[in-house]
Amino acid sequence: MPSVVGLLEEHELAARRRVDGLREEADRIQAELAAAEQEWQEWVIARRRVGTVLDPDGGSIADEEAASGPRDADARSVPGQAAKAKSQVPVWREGLAWSVLSVDYQRILQSLADRHRLHQGPLTCQEMAVAFGLDAVPAKVEALRSKAKRLVARGWLAERQPGRFTLAQGPAGQGGAS
């Protein structure tokens, strides 16, 4: 007759093997999802570029900037560089470059990377707004907070104290590689 402890160990081993197998499958699916998202984004970019080239007005950048509304102007982080429309924030994983993110998200990461490098600690969204030369009005601060929270949810940033953001452990180890 087998011992109770022996039976428990068998069940524990079987459960651990199942968990390990599911983790491997989840990692594989996550990698496959990231590759599919990247391919999708490349097709979106290609379609936009072709649409711009085939535009009867010639698709000049000046025309696009003149046609953009006030919300589009707020989305710009650097004059002349518009953020990707409805940009996707992929889940951070080892080796994923910052360049997969829109310019606005890259600016947030770069400012926090600079603070990390100088050992200055976390930033609030209000401090980010001021650092980016934005008016620290609620609309601008909340837009930054939304982006920062999205970066936290995807593993790029950490929020160890409410409203205070730093680079997450993985992206901080990249040293700003983008």
Interval 91-120: pLDDT, tens: 888 888 888 888 889 999 999 998 888 988
* Single-letter amino acid, residue 139: A
More confident site: 114 or 73: 114
Mean pLDDT of 123-143: 89
Kind and range of the H or E run holding 20: helix 4-54
C-alpha distances (whole Å) from 13 to each of 19, 86, 128 are: 10, 45, 49
How far is C-alpha 147 from the geometric centre of its chain's CA atoms? Answer: 8
pLDDT at 81: 38
pLDDT at residue 68 is higher than 60? no
First-to-last alpha carbon distance for the chain, in angstroms, is 61
Confidence tier at 75 by pLDDT (50, 70, 90):
very low
| pLDDT tens for each residue of 5-48 | 999 999 999 999 999 999 999 888 888 888 888 898 899 888 88
For the record, the structure tokens of 19 come out as 């968990």
pLDDT at 97: 84
Largest CA distance in the chain: 85
pLDDT at 2: 79
pLDDT at 174: 60
pTM of the model: 0.49
pLDDT at 72: 39
pLDDT at 82: 39
Q: Does domain 77-178 sit in CATH 3.30.390.30?
A: no
In this predicted structure, which of 60-64, 74-78, 89-93, 97-101 has the lowest mean pLDDT? 74-78
Closest C-alpha among 87, 67, 83 to residue 75: 83
Domain boundaries, the chain: 1-67, 77-178
| pLDDT tens for each residue of 150-172 | 999 999 999 999 999 999 887 76
How far is residue 25's CA from residue 19's CA, in Å, rounded to a whole number?
A: 10
